[in-house]
Amino acid sequence: MSIPLLSTLIFFPVLGGLSLLVVPRQQTATIRLMALLISLIELVLCLPVVLLFDKTTYLMQFREHLPWIKALNINYSLGIDGISILFLLLTGLIIVLSILVSWESITTKVQEFFVALLLLEGMMMGVFCATDFFLFYIFWEAMLIPMFLIIGVWGGPNRIYATVKFFLYTLVGSLLMLVGIILLYFKGGQTFDIIKLAGQAYPLKLQLLLFWAFFAAFAVKVPMWPVHTWLPDAHTEAPAAGSVILAGVLIKMGAYGFLRFSLPILPDATQQMLLPMLILSVIAIVYGAIICLAQTDLKRLIAYSSVSHMGFVTLGLFALNQHGLEGGILQMINHGIVTGALFLAIGMVYERTHTREIAAYGGLASIMPIFSGFFLLFTLAAVGLPGTNGFIGEFLILLGGFERLPWTAVVAASGLILGAWYMLWLYQRIFFNGVKEGMRDLVELNLREILTLVPMALLIIWIGLYPNALLSFLHVSVSHLLDQVNGIGLAGMALPIQP
């Protein structure tokens, strides 16, 4: 391609965010409009990538390759396959909606906030496009900075504690991953090229060591039990946009790391660690769901539900079969849409009530019927109702889990029952049970808020009725990934690299 589409997706929001700094900070309306326009253009720029994408090959497409640090064989190398392309679209959409939901709620340091959002978008795009391990690590670490600021500057009263906890957890895990990257560099022929590294065989002991080094970073980011405790605090204290980005994109990067690095580069260690990973996954599913039943805070309940839902994702990934992997990846997208939508809705009602205590709500169905309708759809999608996007992903994961180890699917299915319990109970307490004091004067959603929720609602229904729209991107790439895990995609296969 003569046009560097992937570099454009990475650096357009970065340059757009920096351009906001030339606007006088008191012109907040102009800053908001510019930020929204930049994010919309970024989303539109994703369309050529989707339209020109070839679903019949597992090869990395839209490749860009430039020497960077020649002495260490580090290159500016980008490319996407059928797995990563879906996350580019999700990231573009999530940022647009995050800007819309922050339109009125962010009133201090408005300029800096939207700059941070757009910088974060560029870094997240880089994570999903990088095919050089060193470049991936740069983007992986760089995105922590704007997220740190979003929570730490614009968060709730306990934002400093939540921010420090978030930063320390992710930093420690990332440093261990860096050690693993350096070790892999020397053992893999002094290259950071992901495709070349996946095309070589490594001793089992080295693979196990690298697996746990990468696990430290990816498991924290997912987050898997028991390294999940930073997530409820971060969600609770983050502004609405921060929670939406955390749930929609950031925690998907841990599972993406397993897909991109652990499975193809360390296939023997992956097979060896299969049972522990499946056990951790089902523990997360049940534990997260049970903890949700005890929550009194809206955002903490949805945060713990993410622990449970991401347990389904890792269960699907480490089932190591076509159904499980496709279901796990699809559920990553579905979770980003559904949980992102729930946090959008919670942010909107919080602007009106200034409380997250579930006990303070009641009777909203008669006061805010449009909002109640949206929230009902998001709730039904979260419990996996057939016809919504949550159903097909969980179904494929349970199918893949049953094919691998039947008991994992049986235990995970109990998480679905618990999920229906805590989500429907939440809906009952908020929208029925009589109108609570202080709720009678709430105002219905305005046009901006409705337009913010409509894309999520349409995606929930569209993917639920026609999941192949996304699954068609995954078939070939997932099949090739399974070949790599099963040893077919090693050096003898001579993995092709596009120029």
Kindly report, residue by residue over 186-216, the tens digit of the pLDDT: 888 888 988 888 888 888 899 999 999 999 8
Q: Compute the distance between CA of residue 216 and CA of residue 262 in angstroms, rounded to an integer.
A: 12
Q: What percent of the chain has pLDDT over 90?
A: 53
- Residue 75 — pLDDT band, cuts 50, 70, 90? very high
What is the pLDDT at residue 493? 34
The tokens of 161 are what? Answer: 């504690």
What is the pLDDT at residue 495? 34
Q: Compute the distance between CA of residue 307 and CA of residue 229 in angstroms, rounded to an integer.
A: 10
What is the pLDDT at residue 353? 87
Q: What percent of the chain has pLDDT over 70?
A: 97
Rounded average pLDDT over 463-486: 90
User: For residue 80, which amino acid is it?
Assistant: I
Q: Compute the distance between CA of residue 302 and CA of residue 286 in angstroms, rounded to an integer.
A: 15
Residues 424-474 pLDDT 10s: 999 999 988 887 777 788 888 889 999 999 999 999 999 999 999 999 999
Q: Compute the distance between CA of residue 382 and CA of residue 395 in angstroms, rounded to an integer.
A: 13
Say if residues 78 and 131 touch (Cβ distance below 8 Å). Answer: yes
Cα angle for residues 476, 479, 481 (degrees, 5° grid): 110
Parse the chain into domains and list their residue ranges.
273-491
The tokens of 469 are what? Answer: 């729209």
What is the pLDDT at residue 444? 87
Residue 497 has pLDDT above 80, yes or no: no
Residue 69 makes CB contacts below 8 A (sequence gap 6+) with: none
- Residue 498 — pLDDT band, cuts 50, 70, 90? very low
Helix (H) or strand (E) holding 254: helix 252-257
The SS3 of residue 432 is coil
Residue 118 has pLDDT above 90, yes or no: yes
Long-range contacts of residues 226-230, Cβ cutoff 8 Å, at least 24 apart: 227/169, 227/173, 228/284, 228/288, 228/307, 229/165, 229/169, 230/162, 230/165, 230/166, 230/169, 230/170
The SS3 of residue 67 is strand
| Distance in Å from the first CA to the final CA of the chain | 10
Say if residues 132 and 497 touch (Cβ distance below 8 Å). Answer: no
Helix spans in 20-143 (H): 28-51, 84-101, 110-129, 133-142
What is the pLDDT at residue 499? 29
Which residue matches tokens 């670490």? Answer: 141
- Measured CA distances, 488 to 5, 84, 349 (Å): 31, 22, 52
Phi, psi of 27 (to 5 degrees): -85, 65
Task: Give the residue among 116, 114, 119 at the shortest CA–CA distance from 35.
Answer: 114
Task: Give the residue among 305, 328, 331 at the shortest CA–CA distance from 423.
Answer: 305
Say if residues 96 and 453 touch (Cβ distance below 8 Å). Answer: no
Q: What is the pTM of this model?
A: 0.90
Q: Compute the distance between CA of residue 101 and CA of residue 433 in angstroms, rounded to an integer.
A: 28
| C-alpha torsion sign, points 216, 220, 226, 229 | positive
Rounded average pLDDT over 240-256: 89
Task: Give the residue among 324, 311, 259, 316 at the shortest CA–CA distance from 281.
Answer: 311
The SS3 of residue 497 is coil
The tokens of 158 are what? Answer: 């306990």
- Return the exposure string of 425-438: e unless at least 16 CB atoms fall within 10 Å of the residue's CB, then b: ebbeebbeeebbee
Residues 356-402 pLDDT 10s: 888 888 888 888 899 999 999 999 999 989 999 989 999 999 999 99
What is the pLDDT at residue 488? 58
